[in-house]
Amino acid sequence: MRARLHPLTALTAAGSVAVITVAADSWLLSLAVACAAGVLSVRAGVAGRVLPAAAVILAPLCLSLLMLHGLFFPEGHTVLAQWGPARVTTEGLGFALDLASRTAACVMVFLLFSFTVNVPDLVSALEARRVPAQFGFVLASTLTLLPAIAARLDRIRQAQESRGLVLRGGLLSRLGAVRLQMVPLVLALVDDAGNRAQALDARGFGIGGPRTSYRDVADPPAQRRFRAVALLLAAVAVALRLAASWPAAGLS
Amino acid sequence: MSATTRPALLARIGGFTFHGDARPVLRDVGLSAAPGTLTAVLGGSGSGKTTLGKLLAGWLRPGHAGSLMGSLELGPERLVFHGLADDPRINPGAWSRRVGFVPQDAAATLSTVRSTVAEELAFGLENRGMPRADMHAAVAGTATLTGLTALLERDPATLSGGELRRLAVGCAAITGPEVLVLDEPLASLDAAGAVQVRDLIRGLLDAGAAVIVLSQAADGLARTAGHWIILDGGTVTASGPPAQLMGAPELARSGVVVPDMPSAAPSRRDTSTGRTGAAPVLELRTVGFGYPAGRGSPPEAREEQVLRNLDLAVDPGEIVAVTGPNGAGKSTLLRHFNGLLRPAAGEVRVQGSSIASVPVGRVAASVGLLFQHPRDQLFERTVLREVSFGLRGRLGVEASVSRAYGALAAVGLSDAAGTHPAELPASQQRLLALATVVAREPALLALDEPTVGLDRHGLDLLHSAVEAATARGAAVVLVTHDVAYARAMAHRILELDGGRLRQV
């Protein structure tokens, strides 16, 4: 699936699904989309990365939604339980569920996209559409930055351990080690960036003018049509949503 | 260099001073490189070779990085610099298309955002807007020249040192520059890798490029050069054909390593065995280790065995050299000595006790590890802080400072205590890394490629440091691809091959 899908098709699909889900404003549809993204991530073999990442983002978000709207929702009438000023209302829970499911759908869809997209393909596809090369470089660097930082931190830790830094499992010891590693990490990254800039200059990265791309990303006509339809559907969904809520907003 | 051939590059450097420095790093340097000829710039550590190379290649731009008095001529184009604000400016992108540069650290030239060797090669062409069909032809041609054809679909991050160097040369050569400047092109390569790079340079010369090699060794490659320039203290002390300069006093003074020069020290293996019969400092018992294979590999290839059933015992005062080709697992072996890597099978014992459940930081009191790349070892803000790291807790403030200064003096860096380690030349970074090891006075020194990048003065300092360590009873295990050095230094030479150690 990953090999055949043009990165812009995947991006358009993810973006359109997210827009349509938000516009539809139905928690059932949102949950269905989130579940579908989960199933696709299993089939693409990236569930092991998508699901933990989604949990890290969504768990605190859902908790805070529940705290805010589940317990304190002034418009709520159907009170299920009450502790002082905090009231659990059906409306509040419904609102929290709505927001949480919509966010979950968007997060899952974009995580699925970012863990399945082939970054070089994406950069190359963007460059072919005259997006500035610098943007593509920053995008690719950002996606490779975390592994690079992790590798650098590991090297610094090994160097420090080899000179007598004893790391224990405790939180305080870990925090102490992080403090020792931060300054070297930042200095090393700054140094790397300086060297990288020289090398990029020497390889003609900054000379401007037209660029070409070595990588040829296949973009079959069917996928182009699919993208056009997806964008159209998203636009229609937004238009319908606006039409449905505008007069109401105007009256209130 | 015949007078009839127009030089591809002609440089006359009256003086080059970095911004903020009082004294020029280069003065009175002249260099002329004709098409199809190899020029070797030879000099010891800190002689200004790398500065000269970067200046020629536009990596250091006059006006931008420092002030230049002199001229650079590239073909018919002549740029004259007076160290003034209205001096001509070099456009690095345009200049580098005609003068390619491969730095000592080959990985530093890579874009890091390309996923295959082919795309990395094409990066410089993409930036210059070459049509795709031409690019494919250029990549195929350069791959043939650099011997990378079989590796075109590989991820550059997975290449060995020799392959990476060839890729870096390929990236510089693919735009068809008239001049190529290579900084220490053979450093840290094994014999096979060195032959590949030498063949590659031969191919570039045949294709008509002027090649300038910067080196601190008058090695096999430098000896094939038509012209030598000896750089010492930032200026040219001698130049001419190799045959004329081989025995010149300027060469001897410069600190350049001359491989066949008879060593002052007799081969240690002729004089003693080193084995004392005392309890070994280090013992490896049937050690086995493998790295987990990459994702997506078949289950039967889940783990590639790097070390198999390996036994080793090293006595106090003994020097053991471990050799073997790039990628044989020599560095992996050393990382087992202090517990940075833990064996999958077998046991590592230091000074009689197993280190199985001892944290690396504690083993470090007995084992000092010199990493293969100094940049992996150095992380502090100043040279003095670097050497002092971890000493204060063990020795107290006063003793740690005097120990640190002692170690710096032993490697000739007493004057650099306040310098940032990244500002030192590569060879001094390695000596500083060595100082961080010897300052701890460990019972075992594990040195990974300690000679790489050292000039003759550096090698002498390394030699003294190893001698001093063994004199106080420490054991030394050094990994090197330099068999001649191993012969001169070690009591025993072992070759790591197929995961096992074999006496040579």
DSSP string, B206-265: HTT-EEEEEESB--HHHHT-SEEEEEETTEEEEEE-HHHHTT-HHHHHHT-B-TTSPPSS
Provide the token pair at B257: 């390593």
Smallest CA–CA distance from B440 into chain A, residue: A163
Contact A161 B360 (CB under 8 A): yes
pLDDT at B266: 47
Q: Which of the four pLDDT bands, split at 50, 70 and 90, describes residue A235? A: very high
Which residue of B lies nearest to A143 if distances are taken between CA atoms?
B113
Q: Element (H or E) spanning B454, and its range?
A: none
Q: What is the mean pLDDT of residues A5-23?
A: 93
Burial class (CB in 10 A: 0-12, 13-18, 19+), B158: exposed
From the CB of residue A96, how many other CB atoms can be counted at a distance below 10 Å?
20
pLDDT at A249: 52
**Rounded mean pLDDT, A98-112:** 93
**Is the dihedral angle over the CA atoms B169, B170, B175, B177 positive or is it negative?**
positive
Fold of B33-58+91-254: Rossmann fold (3.40.50)
Give per-residue pLDDT as tens, B119-175: 999 999 998 889 999 999 999 999 988 889 999 999 888 887 778 888 999 999 898
SS3 B369: strand
Where does B268-503 sit in CATH, by number? 3.40.50.300
B230, B256 contact by CB (below 8 A): yes
Assess whether pLDDT exceeds 80 at residue B21: yes
Give domain limits for chain B: 33-58+91-254, 268-503
Nearest Cα to Cα of residue B193 among B240, B234, B161: B161
A84 shares contact with chain B (CB less than 8 Å):
no
Q: Which of A158, A174, A181, A214 to mutate to test the interface with B (most CBs of B within 10 A)?
A: A214
Q: What is the pLDDT at residue B416?
A: 93
Q: Give the torsion sign (CA, A46, A49, A50, A52).
A: positive
The verdict on a CB contact (< 8 Å) between B129 and A212 is: yes
Q: How do beta strands B500-503 and B492-497 pair?
A: antiparallel
Q: Is the ipTM of this complex over 0.85?
A: no
Q: Is B289 helix (H, G, I), strand (E, B) or coil?
A: strand
pLDDT band at residue B3 using 50, 70 and 90 as cut-offs:
very low
pLDDT in tens, B330-380: 989 999 999 999 999 999 999 999 999 999 999 999 999 999 888 888 988
Residues of A with CB below 8 A from B92's CB? 198, 201-202, 206
Mean pLDDT of chain B: 88
The sheet that has B66-74: what strands, in order across it? Answer: B26-33, B9-18, B66-74, B77-82
SS3 A86: strand
Res B483 pLDDT > 60: yes
At residue B267, the pLDDT reads: 56
Check residue B168 and give its pLDDT: 92
Burial class (CB within 10 angstroms; exposed 0-12, middle 13-18, buried 19+) of B159: buried
**Which one of B94, B111, B340 has the shortest CB-CB distance to A162?**
B340
Q: Which residue of chain A comes nearest to B65, CA vs CA?
A: A198
Instruction: Return the bridge partners of B217, or none.
Output: B257
- What confidence tier does A198 reach under pLDDT thresholds 50, 70, 90? confident
| pLDDT of res. A123 | 81
CB contact under 8 A, B127 and A156: no
DSSP letters spanning B14-78: EEEEETT-SS-SEEEEEEEE-TT-EEEEEE-TTSSHHHHHHHHHTSS-BTTTEEEEEEEEETTEE
Judged against a pLDDT cut of 80, whether residue B449 lies above it is answered with: yes
Cβ within 8 Å, pair B112-A188: no
Interchain contact A119–B (C-beta under 8 A): yes
Q: What is the pLDDT of residues B202-257, one digit of tens each?
A: 989 999 999 999 999 998 899 999 999 999 999 999 999 999 999 899 998 999 99
| Domain B268-503 in the same topology as domain B33-58+91-254 | yes
Q: Does A203 touch chain B (CB under 8 A)?
A: yes
**pLDDT of B269 strictly over 70:** no
Q: How far is A60 from chain B (nearest CA, A)?
A: 31
- pLDDT band for B301, please (50, 70, 90 cuts): very low
Cα separation of the two ends of chain A? 48
More confident call, A118 vs A4: A118
- Residue range A30-57: mean pLDDT, rounded: 91
Token pair listed for B33: 């490189």
Q: Token digits for B354?
A: 């197993």
Please report the pLDDT score of residue B158 as a whole number. Answer: 80
Does A165 lie at the interface with B, CB-CB under 8 angstroms? yes
